Amino acid sequence: MAITTPETRARRAKLPPEEPSIPQRGGSTAGYWMYLLPGFVLLLIIVVVPLVWNVYLTFTSWRGVGDPEFIGLENWTELLSDSDFWTSFANSVWMVLAMVVVPTTVGLLVAALLFDVVGRKFGGKVGSFLRATYYLPQILPVVVAGIVIGWIVRPGADGALNQILGVFGIPPVDWLGQMPSALIVLMVVLVWVQIGYPVVVFMAALQRVDPELYEAAELDGANWLQRFTAITMSIIRPEIFVVTLTCTIAALKVFGPVYVITRGGPAGATLVPAYYAYQEFFTKRNVGYGATIATVLTILVVIVSVIFIRVQNSLERKERLGL
């Protein structure tokens, strides 16, 4: 009769080696690259080739027909002394305020209120309905929104806003024909259009917040603002970075609302880089100079993206190290 020792029982109870969750195949992985080939081709045709061609045009004088004439750095030299160019980038600060700072801040507060207050008191369906209401301007075509806004702020007594002001004895205002009203109208429209995006993203992020954290903090006497800053902000920090980055890029290259509502006026007061490049491309047919503006805008977007990503990675690294 064999004697069973503890070592024998341990060997018998030893589990087989863990198998990988994804079956592994030997040999070359060259076949996998075939599935990536369509994406690479589209990237090459849609992004890389136009980008290289655009950079080349910055060193040429071209009106869109015939052969481009190489002129070296003349477009870049002219750009440095172009007051309209610097005005367009200065106006981008207002676009960032209207499309990043205000929507992200207000969207975060609205999402937290819908999730932590409205959702708990009135149920998830009410919160979902309000979330969809906030997001509605995002799916509304820019042209339709521009027509509606143009009807509201139309100059003269037939504009909707001027009719309301007329009830109180206030004379009609040319909202889009003077400053600062034209810039204010554009910024209000941008806030209205943009605010739904942060609300939807933040409400989705709040789904992974454990409700017991809120309950424990509430039992400890924390009010809503304290729960928001100590729990909500720390948990959804990655989503805050994503929203801030994507909204910043959208603000730097905003075009549609400016084109539909103000056309860069009055006197360039709402001119932005994307619309300025469009004017040089299609209105003045100065393709080389328009390509230079577009290239500078692309470089700026890349720099901003790199800075955001590096800051986010640094904060995540410090958080993992417990600093």
Please tell me the predicted confidence (pLDDT) of residue 250. 93
Of the candidates 173, 169, 191, 194, the one whose C-alpha atom is nearest the C-alpha of residue 182 is: 173
- For position 235, what pLDDT does the model report? 85
Q: What is the pLDDT of residues 74-112, one digit of tens each?
A: 999 999 999 999 999 999 999 999 999 999 999 998 888
The residue behind tokens 């040999």 is: 27
Structural contact between residues 270 and 258, judged by C-beta atoms closer than 8 angstroms: yes
Structure confidence by residue, pLDDT tens digits, 109-159: 888 888 777 777 777 778 788 888 888 888 888 888 888 888 899 888 888
d(CA 85, CA 276) in angstroms, rounded, equals 8
DSSP string, 140-200: S-HHHHHHHHHHHT-SSTTSHHHHHHHHTTPPP--TTSSTTHHHHHHHHHHHHHHTHHHHH
Cis peptide before 211 (omega within 30 of 0): no
Question: What gap in Å lies between CA 76 and CA 58, rounded to an integer?
Answer: 8
Buried b (16+ CB within 10 A) or exposed e, 106-126: bbbbbbbebbbebbeeeeeee
- pLDDT confidence of residue 221: 84
| pLDDT the model gives residue 247 | 94
Nearest C-alpha neighbor of 89 from the set 310, 304, 308: 304
pLDDT per residue over 157-207, tens digit each?
888 999 998 989 888 889 998 888 999 999 999 999 999 999 999 988 888
pLDDT tens for 217-264 read: 888 888 878 888 888 888 888 899 999 999 999 999 999 999 999 999
- Taking the C-alpha atoms of residue 208 and residue 230, their distance in angstroms, rounded to an integer, is 15
Please give the Cα distance from 305 to 41 (Å, whole number).
24
Mean of the pLDDT values across residues 14-36?
A: 62
Better pLDDT: 146 or 299: 299
Give percent above pLDDT 90 in the chain: 46
CA-CA distance, 14 to 2, in Å (whole number)?
20
Mean pLDDT to the nearest integer, 49-75: 93
What is the spatial distance between Cα 291 and Cα 88, in angstroms, rounded to a whole number? 15
Please give the Cα distance from 278 to 78 (Å, whole number).
17
CA angle 40, 45, 49 (to 5 degrees): 110
